[in-house]
A and B are shown apart, each in its own frame.
Chain A
Amino acid sequence: EVQLVESGGGLVQPGRSMKLSCAASGFTFSNYGMAWVRQAPTKGLEWVATISYDGSSTYYRDSVKGRFTISRDNAKSTLYLQMNSLRSEDTATYYCTGRAPDWGQGVMVTVSS
């Protein structure tokens, strides 16, 4: 059974940092590009960042470029999202996904003082 389990969310003050993790199992993680998608409360889905299967290529939405870093550890089958200089508008549930059917349960990030 494929599982994607996110962790690391919570409440953080504006300007601070937070790192999300996504532990994958049930498929060959190192074969697939992965992504983070977020959803602000009562809003639609919004792509955040993508990383290639080997980590050599990364892509970010404009609003997080220079603040967020997507990375992966294929030996640990884990995806990461390092979020720096957090803003209130980053408040959302963050999902990791790779293959089209596979989504994590989501982790909530609240940026507030």
Chain B
Amino acid sequence: AQSVAQPEDQVNVAEGNPLTVKCTYSVSGNPYLFWYVQYPNRGLQFLLKYITGDNLVKGSYGFEAEFNKSQTSFHLKKPSALVSDSALYFCAVRPSGSARQLTFGSGTQLTVLP
């Protein structure tokens, strides 16, 4: 069975500083990895994904994530944080193949301080 760990419930960063939200995973075979963001009283919004290819993937709103197979990690990063980036971030994984079930982490609340 697959699993996702987001070790930090809360991440605080000053506006303009780089941010990192951590994610590690466990899955049989090759993983498909995703990051989603959720603003208050809204659904989850897709940010980026890793399926295959380049380990550094770029997504919406200047976010990027690096797939590290040896460390089974998929950390979300942004070079310069904005106050509007404050939200709840979810990492998710599914095994390659026909399985449809996405397994989500418990989420990390990002707060960007002005």
Whether chain B is bound by chain A comes out as no
